[in-house]
A and B are shown apart, each in its own frame.
Chain A
Amino acid sequence: MLTLKRLTKRYKTGDLALQEVTLDIPQGQVVGLIGPSGAGKSTLIRCINRLVEPTAGTVQLKELNLTSLSQTALRRARRHMGMIFQEYALVERLTVMENVLSGQLGYVSFWRSLLRRFPTPAVQQAFAVLDRVGLLDHVDKRADALSGGQRQRVGIARALLQNPDLLLVDEPTASLDPKTSRQIMRLITEICAERQLAAIINIHDVALAQLFVQRIIGLRQGQVVYDGAPDGLTAEVLTDIYGAEDWSATIRKEPVEEPPVAEEEEPLPEKKLAVAR
């Protein structure tokens, strides 16, 4: 569904952030993108929705060639790509509802959005999505009154309100504690399964990625150096991606089945935590 062909990005400073990245992601697949800081993970997902303009190569979403679109057509195309950020990137002084409804901005006219008169179906969808992420009690709060995990749920709800085909997720758990990180990752992967969304998740926590995603792509200095199953991440592969280090504590020793669908606020069983670490 999403196809990258020889995608390359060179910044004005001369840094080559991406070198001929070629990928193909089918519908409904959740991909974990790992790699050291500065490997080009953020650049890669920003080149897909063109928040960063790629230097060369093509990005194709379904039948649409994103790299050749005009600004207006690009805005339309962006509606189908929800984005979730590391520091949540919520508009702090707006309410939860306004933040979630901002996912609809690509669909409504300027005047409607200025007067906050969103179409009734959109508002109903917003309530449904907020219910799904467990924030129905916080609709009227301002975004800066929420905790980190709650904010990220608002971020997810905003992305879902775009009715996307694809989620671009940039370090969703980097600012969260271990338990909340798991809950957020579980929420994202569950939603992707429910709606058959493809997702690219940039992530530093290799163990967490292995626990939740179906496919791992390793990036080093802008090049794909690993593309395969989460179980294939051996010490050699990790050394290839990150450099030499004792990886024994990071690698999953035995395959664990997908974690059970727990209640949102319920902690994971201790045993699972121990195995995953």
Chain B
Amino acid sequence: MPIRDRDGSNIWQRRTSRQQWLSWFGWLLLVSLFIFCWRLMNENTLWMFVQDAPRQVIDITDRMTPPRWSYMERLWKPLWDTLNIATLGTLLGITMAVPVAFLAARNTTPSDRYVRPVAILVIVSSRSINSLIWALLLVSILGPGLLAGIIAIALRSIGFIGKLLYEAIEEIDHSQVEAVLATGASGSQVLDYAIVPQIMPAFAGISVFRWDINIRESTVLGLVGAGGIGLELSHSLNTLAWPQVSLIFIVILGTVVVSEWISARVRHAII
């Protein structure tokens, strides 16, 4: 009890003394861990290199500027590829994620015991692997190119969209479902009239958000050979063509800003 009796008057404290000790001990552990990690990090750092860092930064900046603007004419195609990877990958991801989400949501799954765990497993395994690693795998299976990139993006998107969408499905207002059921509607009609309208704003928001993330992710997929602007980045880095690298950075930044703006507008329009 956090209320104690002292000299006839009640003293209230937020925590019992046991909880106070536990929280104090928890903080002690956290601070010790931080100090320990700090020391470990310092031991493994070669300070010679760190001292050298400012000079290296100046050196690389010097080599990167000015960006080689003429290189732009060779970037339009890979940039277009990157946008395609992101967009097609998102669309493919959505078509696979929507059924999975309905199978995973407690209130729409056909079987809580058998189907739901499988759907959850699909979502978790898709989420646990980064799209770069998916791309690495797919490049070795399908060979380098756009297709590997698209499928990598799609596979990673299933987990993201599936998880957020099934949570949205589980949070719908049940009375609307009841009302439509009471009219004598079939299961698919209940889905169409009571469930889909309720999750539509969430669905649109999630999809556009994922598209936005996928634009950013698809810019690096080329590093492992899955096509797009990352491929050019990898070439330029390997040939130490720093003015080209800086131009690619600028292009990626511009693309991300634009996609961010578009997705914000779309979300605003729908919700």
Contact = CB atoms under 8 A, between A and B. Distances in A.
A79 interface: yes
Interface in A57-111: 75-79, 81-83, 85, 87, 89-94, 98, 102-107, 110
Nearest to B185: A105
A84 to B, nearest CB: 9
A162 interface: yes
A102 B193 CA distance: 8
Contacts of B183: 78-79, 82-83, 102-106, 158, 162
A113 B192 contact: yes
A51 B176 CA distance: 13
B102 to A, nearest CB: 16
Contacts of B200: 93
B30 interface: no
A159 B192 CA distance: 19
A83 B184 contact: no
A91 B186 contact: no
Interface centre among B173, B179, B185 (most CB of A within 10 A): B179
Interface centre among A76, A105, A113 (most CB of B within 10 A): A105
Contacts of B173: 89
Chain B interface residue count: which class?
20 to 34
B193 A75 contact: no
A78 to B, nearest CB: 4
B178 interface: yes
Given A75-B186, A105-B184, A91 B194 contact: yes
Contact of B179 (A81, A83, A113): A83
Contacts of B181: 51, 78
B182 A102 contact: no
Contacts of A79: 183-184
B184 A92 contact: no
A240 to B, nearest CB: 31
A114 interface: yes
Contacts, number: 82
B197 interface: yes
B193 A81 contact: no
A111 to B, nearest CB: 10
B182 A110 contact: no
A114 B196 CA distance: 11
Contacts of B42: none
B175 A102 contact: no
Contact of A91 (B182, B184, B197, B201): B197
A49 B182 contact: yes
B125 interface: no
B195 to A, nearest CB: 9
Nearest to B177: A89
Interface in A135-185: 155, 158, 162, 168
Interface string B138-175: 00000000000000000000000000000000000101
A145 B178 CA distance: 21
A91 B175 contact: no
Nearest to B179: A89
B189 interface: yes
Contacts of A106: 183-185
Given A91-B194, A93-B197, A113-B192, A162 B175 contact: no
A251 B181 CA distance: 37
Contact of A102 (B180, B186, B188, B198): B180
A105 B179 contact: no
Contact of B189 (A49, A92, A105, A158): A105
Interface string A40-63: 000000000101000000000000
A85 B176 CA distance: 10
Contact of A85 (B179, B197, B201): B179
Given A85-B175, A105-B193, A91 B180 contact: yes
A74 to B, nearest CB: 8
Nearest to A94: B197
A153 B193 CA distance: 19
B203 to A, nearest CB: 12
Given A76-B184, A78-B182, A89 B175 contact: yes
Nearest to A161: B183
Given A102-B193, A114-B192, A51 B180 contact: no
Nearest to B201: A93
Interface string B40-65: 00000000000000000000000000
Given A91-B198, A110-B189, 6 more contacts: A49-B182, A51-B182, A78-B182, A89-B179, A93-B197, A110-B186
8 contacts: A51-B182, A78-B181, A78-B183, A91-B198, A93-B197, A105-B185, A106-B183, A110-B186
Interface of A: 49, 51, 75-79, 81-83, 85, 87, 89-94, 98, 102-107, 110, 113-114, 155, 158, 162, 168
